[in-house]
């Protein structure tokens, strides 16, 4: 087996097993339920991965929405890696390319890739959701040269598979030790590893697929990015996607009344603690200029 075939096989495994786990959550929960320890482990691991990707990989490393002290800089790279969405350098390169060509030829995961008919859009949404992962990824040199110069991030990217192992094995280790039983390890592995990874995957990938097809568009952007409120709860604020594409470097994506943005709240707390600075908070005048013109 050559390296490309091996990589594809591993990718199928990483995507497939958690997805199967998601499919059987209802009958498993109905038959055996989910204990408070398993739920706690799953929620904590989900929160670490989701904030690592959305606050770390996305707002910090990709768009430079704030500057961070070195320990937090490293912690965000490690936390994002536990989401099993690729090493930080690869994730950042792909996302920067996405913004350069958003919903236009060259975008690595636009749901409009195959056309605007219902059939083409269905195919495009599947591609934007996970099909694009099997394609050639963005050049690190072209799209992430700053991270290639960062020794800590290069080292973390090279240790990605070690961090993948930690992400998968930590829940069952905790479950086994805290219950002192193999059954505690097994249920923690199911809920805290497989189900949690599957949920993180499909929640994050939904921003690529769903948020570029539907949702409110209160701000002018050059693409079809939209706000999907129910997904914002699961992404901790990253599906307020219209403002993000209108103002990519903004540290807050949910800027309108009622738009909950947990990532932005944590950035604010870190700013108060002095762990981050030069935060690019939304400017009221720029937001007014960016508002979409509503036909009278």
> pLDDT of 64-74, one tens digit each?
999 999 999 99
- Confirm whether 269 is domain-assigned: no
Tell me which range, 12-26, 46-60, 106-120, 206-220, is most confidently predicted by mean pLDDT. 46-60
- Confirm whether 38 is domain-assigned: yes
DSSP reduced 3-state for 34: coil
Q: How far apart are CA 63 and CA 150, in angstroms?
A: 16
- Confirm whether 234 is domain-assigned: no
pLDDT for 58 beyond 80: yes
Q: At 287, is the pLDDT very low, low, confident or very high (cuts 50, 70, 90)?
A: confident
Q: At 288, is the pLDDT very low, low, confident or very high (cuts 50, 70, 90)?
A: confident
Q: Which residues contact 50 (CB under 8 A, 6 or more apart)?
A: 83, 200, 203, 204, 234, 235, 236
- Confirm whether 23 is domain-assigned: yes
The whole-number pLDDT of residue 136 equals 86
- Confirm whether 266 is domain-assigned: no
pTM for this structure? 0.91
The whole-number pLDDT of residue 35 equals 85
Q: Do residues 62 and 85 touch, judged by C-beta distance below 8 A?
A: no
Q: Which residues of 90-105 are buried (b: 16+ CB within 10 A; e: fewer)?
A: bbbbbbbbbeeebbee
- Number of structural domains (the chain) is 1
For residue 159, the tally of other CB atoms under 10 A from its CB is: 15
- Confirm whether 286 is domain-assigned: no
Q: At 37, is the pLDDT very low, low, confident or very high (cuts 50, 70, 90)?
A: very high
Region of 64 (left: φ > 0; alpha: ψ -120 to 50; beta: rest) is left
Q: What DSSP designation does 210 have?
A: G
Residue span of the structural domain in which 144 resides: 3-218
At 75-88, the pLDDT tens digits run: 999 999 999 999 99
Instruction: Give the residue with greater pLDDT, 226 vs 6.
Output: 226
The whole-number pLDDT of residue 296 equals 31
pLDDT for 121 beyond 50: yes
The label of the residue with tokens 């903004």 reads 250
Q: At 1, is the pLDDT very low, low, confident or very high (cuts 50, 70, 90)?
A: low
Which stretches does DSSP call E strand in the chain?
67-68, 276-277
Cα angle 159-164-169, degrees, rounded to a multiple of 5? 130
| pLDDT > 90 fraction of the chain, expressed in percent and rounded | 76
Terminal C-alpha separation, the chain: 62
Q: Do residues 233 and 48 touch, judged by C-beta distance below 8 A?
A: no
Q: Do residues 47 and 258 touch, judged by C-beta distance below 8 A?
A: no
- Confirm whether 271 is domain-assigned: no
Instruction: Give the residue with greater pLDDT, 24 vs 276.
Output: 276
- Confirm whether 41 is domain-assigned: yes
For residue 14, the tally of other CB atoms under 10 A from its CB is: 18
pLDDT for 150 beyond 50: yes
| pLDDT > 70 fraction of the chain, expressed in percent and rounded | 88
Q: Which residues of 261-283 are buried (b: 16+ CB within 10 A; e: fewer)?
A: bbbbebbbebbeeebbeebbebe
The whole-number pLDDT of residue 173 equals 97
């Amino acid at each position: 087996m050559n390296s490309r075939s091996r990589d594809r096989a591993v990718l199928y495994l990483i995507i497939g097993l958690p997805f199967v786990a998601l499919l059987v959550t209802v009958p498993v929960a109905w038959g055996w339920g989910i204990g408070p320890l398993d739920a706690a482990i799953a929620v904590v691991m989900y929160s670490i991965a989701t904030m690592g990707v959305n606050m770390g990989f996305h707002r910090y490393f990709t768009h430079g929405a704030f500057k961070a002290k070195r320990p937090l800089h490293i912690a965000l790279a490690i936390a994002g890696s536990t989401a099993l969405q690729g090493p930080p350098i690869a994730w950042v390169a792909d996302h920067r390319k996405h913004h350069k060509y958003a919903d236009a030829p060259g975008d690595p995961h636009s749901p409009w890739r195959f056309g605007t008919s219902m059939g083409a859009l269905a195919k495009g949404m599947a591609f934007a959701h996970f099909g694009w992962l099997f394609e050639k990824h963005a050049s690190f040199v072209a799209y992430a040269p700053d991270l290639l110069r960062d020794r800590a991030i290069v080292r973390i990217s090279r240790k990605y598979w070690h961090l993948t192992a930690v992400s998968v094995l930590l829940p069952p280790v905790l479950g086994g030790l805290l219950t002192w039983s193999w059954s505690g390890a097994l249920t923690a592995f199911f809920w805290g590893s497989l189900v949690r990874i599957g949920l993180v995957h499909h929640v994050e990938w939904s921003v690529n697929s769903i948020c570029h097809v539907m949702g409110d568009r209160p701000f002018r952007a050059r693409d079809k990015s939209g706000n999907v409120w129910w997904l914002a709860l699961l992404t901790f604020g990253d599906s307020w996607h219209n403002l993000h594409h209108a103002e990519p470097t903004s540290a807050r994506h949910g800027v309108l009344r009622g738009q909950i943005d947990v990532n932005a709240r944590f950035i604010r707390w870190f700013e108060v603690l002095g762990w981050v600075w030069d935060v690019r908070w939304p400017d009221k005048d720029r937001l007014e200029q960016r508002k979409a013109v509503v036909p009278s």
